[in-house]
Amino acid sequence: MAYWILKIVFLGPIIRLLYRPKIIGKHNIPRRGAAILASNHQSFSDSIFLPLAVPRKITFLAKSEYFTGKGIKGFFTKMFFAGVGQVPIDRSGGRASEAAVSTAVEILKSGKLLGIYPEGTRSPDGRLYRGRTGIIRIALEANVPIIPVALQGTFDIQPPGTIIPKIKRVTITFGEPLYLEDFQGKEKDLGALREATNLVMQRLQSLGGQTYVDIYATKAKEAIQSQVSEDLESDISE
Domain spans, the chain: 2-237
Q: How distant, in Å, are the alpha carbons of 105, 114, 131, 162 from that of 139?
A: 8, 10, 14, 33
> 2-237 domain in CATH 3.90.650.10?
no
- What is the structure's pLDDT at 88? 67
Residue pair 57/113 in contact by the 8 Å Cβ criterion: yes
Contact 35, 115 (CB under 8 A): no
pLDDT at 2 over 90: no
Contacting residues for 32 by C-beta, under 8 A, at least 6 apart: 111
Average of per-residue pLDDT across 162-174:
92
Q: What average pLDDT does the segment 51-73 reach?
A: 79
Of residues 80 and 164, which shows the higher confidence score? 164
237 band by pLDDT with thresholds 50, 70 and 90: low
In the predicted model, is pLDDT for residue 51 greater than 50? Answer: yes
9 pLDDT exceeds 80?
no
pLDDT at position 83: 62
What average pLDDT does this structure show over 62-84? Answer: 67
Question: Over pLDDT 90: what percentage of the chain?
Answer: 61
| Predicted pLDDT at 206 | 98
pLDDT confidence of residue 232: 45
pLDDT tens sequence across 103-160: 899 999 999 999 999 999 999 999 999 999 999 999 999 999 999 999 999 999 998 8
